[in-house]
């Protein structure tokens, strides 16, 4: 439920006889719609849905708002709508240029306009599905936190903790004693 896999969670719960915590069922369909909008490159729809579900979230989290607006800019560039991208950038992204931490990112986004094939530019990573995934994950965590739910699932926290403990043990005891944690290796045991 944490990552919007409602059907999987319901199937698991029905086969185990466990009950779903009420907190997680709230708005999971809306969170999934937001998440999928980002993954599909429809950042403006994701912004609209986020404002409905979590009012003021983007207003209070400028980094996330910037990332979503940037995704829309990137999609315009990907669609070869450079004039529209430039107009959008001037209208929606210019205000971020006054904040030093956004300047370098803005330069990277604007650099995409210089290439006929942005996919072959040095900034190609901005066009990748992984970039969208990172923004979608950040937005999902922010929406959960806005609803006073944990930003990370219990399983994610356990894996993070196991990784840190394993790294610490490896440093303290010796390199040969404890290899770095690998979920794949752990699950294959």
Residue ranges covered by each domain of the chain = 6-151, 153-189
Count Cβ atoms within 10 A of the Cβ of residue 95 and give its class: 0-12 exposed, 13-18 middle, 19 or more buried: exposed
Provide the whole-model pTM. 0.76
| Average pLDDT taken over every residue of the chain | 85
Overall residue count recorded for the chain in this entry? 189
Reported as a single tens digit per residue, the pLDDT across 155-176 is 777 878 888 887 777 777 665 5
* pLDDT exceeds 80 at position 152: no
Residue 52 to residue 17: CA distance in whole angstroms: 34
Identify which of 168, 138, 166 has the alpha carbon closest to the alpha carbon of residue 46. Answer: 138
Q: Please, where are the H alpha helices in the chain?
A: 6-16, 22-25, 28-39, 43-53, 57-60, 62-78, 82-88, 100-111, 129-146, 154-173, 183-188
User: Which of the two residues, 74 and 159, has the higher pLDDT score?
Assistant: 74
Kindly give the interhelix angle for 28-39 and 6-16, rounded to the nearest 10 degrees.
140
- Cα pseudo-dihedral 131, 135, 137, 138, rounded to 10: 140
Identify which of 44, 36, 45, 49 has the alpha carbon closest to the alpha carbon of residue 4. Answer: 36
Residue 41 to residue 140: CA distance in whole angstroms: 15
Residue 19 to residue 147: CA distance in whole angstroms: 20
Residue 94 to residue 40: CA distance in whole angstroms: 25
* pLDDT exceeds 90 at position 130: yes
Compute the C-alpha angle 79/51/77, nearest 5°. Answer: 10
């Amino acid at each position: 439920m944490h990552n919007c896999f409602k059907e999987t969670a319901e199937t698991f719960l029905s086969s185990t006889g466990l009950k779903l915590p009420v907190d997680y069922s709230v708005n999971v369909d809306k969170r999934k719609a937001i998440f999928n909008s980002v993954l599909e490159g429809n950042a403006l729809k994701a912004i609209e849905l986020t404002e409905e579900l979590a009012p003021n979230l983007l207003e209070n989290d400028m980094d996330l708002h910037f990332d979503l607006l940037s995704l829309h800019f990137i999609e315009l560039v990907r669609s070869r709508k450079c004039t529209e991208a430039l107009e959008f950038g001037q209208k929606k992204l210019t205000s971020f240029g006054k904040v030093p931490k956004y300047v370098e990112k803005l330069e990277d986004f604007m650099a995409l306009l210089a290439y006929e094939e942005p996919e072959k530019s040095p900034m190609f990573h901005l066009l990748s599905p992984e970039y969208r995934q990172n923004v979608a994950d950040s937005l999902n965590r922010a929406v959960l936190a806005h609803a006073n739910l944990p930003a990370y699932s219990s399983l994610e926290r356990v894996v993070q903790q196991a990784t840190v403990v394993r790294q610490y043990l490896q440093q303290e005891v010796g390199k040969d004693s404890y290899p770095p944690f690998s979920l794949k290796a752990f699950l294959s045991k």
